[in-house]
Structure 1
Amino acid sequence: MEATKRWVLLTALAPVAWGANYWVTHAHLPADRPLWGAALRALPAGLLLLALARRRPHGAWWWRSALLGLLNTAAFFVLLYLASQLLPTSAAATLMAASPLAMLLTSWALAGQRPRPAHLAGSVVGLAGVALALAGTGEGIGWAGLAASA
């Protein structure tokens, strides 16, 4: 497989995983228990990593690992779960389409990497295309879901 095709497939992985998250959340997880949903999402991967790890954390890495796990599971996954439950799919897709633009602007602000005009244009066109394709679906945007997503 040539390198370009490999990168295209790798790039498609994030939107597919994001979309699968919404389907699994709506179809299979309890709607009123975000921490439980987050634990169900994180536990299999955590157990697999624990089984594959060749050594355990030492010293200060115990509390660092605990803090990272807490932030990832109790904060990120819970907010992701809430956004999945509270946002209409059209709004979630539009927010996901905004991520390339957000990353360009973040790298400019934090690393001083000025985005190229073609990258900015592509990000804006992609976001506008998704927004136009999904506009007028009749679903109201829940501000709690929007806040959790942000």
Structure 2
Amino acid sequence: MNLLITALTPVIWGTTYFVTTEFLPADRPLLAGFIRAFPAGLMLLAWFRVLPSGAWWWKSIVLGVLNIGAFFALLFWATFLLPGGVAAVITNTSPLWVIALSPILLGARVRSLQLAAAVVAVVGVATLVFSPGAQLNPQGIVVGLAGALCMAFGVVLTKRFGRPEGVPGLAVTGWQLTFGGLFLLPLLLLLEGAPAQVSGENLLGFLYMFTINGVVAYGLWFRGISLLDTVSVAMLGVISPVTATLIGVFLNGEELSGLQWAGGGAVLVALVLANVASLQPRRRG
């Protein structure tokens, strides 16, 4: 049940590409990231009225930058530089980075089945969303890979730090969203500035971003990290581009080839493999 609840997060995140291109102001990745994070963080701070204490000040700042600030900036930047499907593939290579970082930062032993599942997932997503005419912007690829690495570090460190005793999980989420938004604010003002005008459509997109895509999704995500195997949680991220692709099919009238449907099936197989591996007992000695 915890796995299914956590899986709602990448489903929600899969709507990001559609909402970004259809509802948000064009070519403003920092504004999109800031709106997704900062209002949500302030709302949670006002609700719980709990601030970090001791080491949790610097831990919240580090996690806020990795999970929210830097990741949002890189994610939206990649989305504007690359076709949505290509951006989804590159930013969702994070399970491979989690597998690489877990032994170093968590002392975890990575199972061969988990590594195989991660490779199958990335190949499946690539098959699903790449098109023969996809334009690969080198800058976009670098930005997307940096975003994937940020997310991987964020997932692993969130698991390593745990949660302060007696503090609700959503309050900790609020700290990260707030610090992530504060990280984005000076970059936004310096590099983009305020938009000349904001339409009603833009406002609807912003509202969705900081409520459903921000508070709800990240609350479920951090809860899942605290309860589940780190690699299994990271693997759930590949559901996001699958969702984005299905949205394209049903809302934009896009058609999938047999090979693309096979790619989607490969992603599902990879998720099953990763979670079967997480249930296997660890060898000792």
| TM range, smaller chain | 0.7 to 0.9
Provide, for residues 2-38 of structure 1, a one-character-per-residue CA deviation record: whole Å limited to 9, x for no partner. Answer: x3xx41x234234223322211211121123233222
The one-letter amino acid paired with 1:76 is: F
| Aligned equivalent of 2:65, options 71, 83, 94 | 71
Give the TM-score taking structure 2 as reference length: 0.43
Rounded Cα–Cα distance in structure 1 between residues aligned with 2:41 and 2:79: 22
CA contact (8 A) 1:35 1:74 kept: no
Rounded Cα–Cα distance in structure 2 between residues aligned with 1:123 and 1:65: 28
| Aligned equivalent of 1:127, options 122, 139, 157 | 122
Distance 1:69 1:130, change over 3 A: closer
- The answer to whether residue 17 in structure 2 is matched with residue 22 in structure 1 is yes
| Aligned equivalent of 1:36, options 28, 31, 34 | 31
How far did 1:89 drift?
Answer: 1.8
Rounded Cα–Cα distance in structure 2 between residues aligned with 1:69 and 1:103: 15
How far did 1:58 drift?
Answer: 6.7
Rounded Cα–Cα distance in structure 2 between residues aligned with 1:121 and 1:70: 30
Partner secondary structure for residue 79 of structure 1? helix
Which stretches in structure 2 are left out of the alignment for 5+ residues?
Answer: 147-285
Which stretches in structure 1 are left out of the alignment for 5+ residues?
Answer: none
CA RMSD, 1 decimal: 3.0
Question: Which residue in 2 is equivalent to 1:115?
Answer: 110
How far did 1:67 drift?
Answer: 5.0
The 10-residue stretch of structure 1 (122-131 or 33-42) with the greater mean CA deviation from structure 2: 33-42
Provide, for residues 31-76 of structure 1, a one-character-per-residue CA deviation record: whole Å limited to 9, x for no partner. Answer: 23233222221233122112113244578977x5995598366533
CA contact (8 A) 2:52 2:60 kept: no
Identity %: 43
Distance 1:110 1:80, change over 3 A: same
Aligned length: 144
Distance 1:75 1:137, change over 3 A: same
Rounded Cα–Cα distance in structure 2 between residues aligned with 1:58 and 1:114: 32
Question: Which residue in 1 is equivalent to 2:142?
Answer: 147
The one-letter amino acid paired with 2:109 is: R
The one-letter amino acid paired with 1:103 is: V
| Structure 1 residue ranges (4+ consecutive) displaced by more than 4 angstroms after TM superposition | 56-62, 64-70
How far did 1:140 drift?
Answer: 0.9
Rounded Cα–Cα distance in structure 1 between residues aligned with 2:31 and 2:137: 22
The one-letter amino acid paired with 1:141 is: L
Distance 1:137 1:145, change over 3 A: same
CA contact (8 A) 1:38 1:78 kept: yes
The one-letter amino acid paired with 2:115 is: L
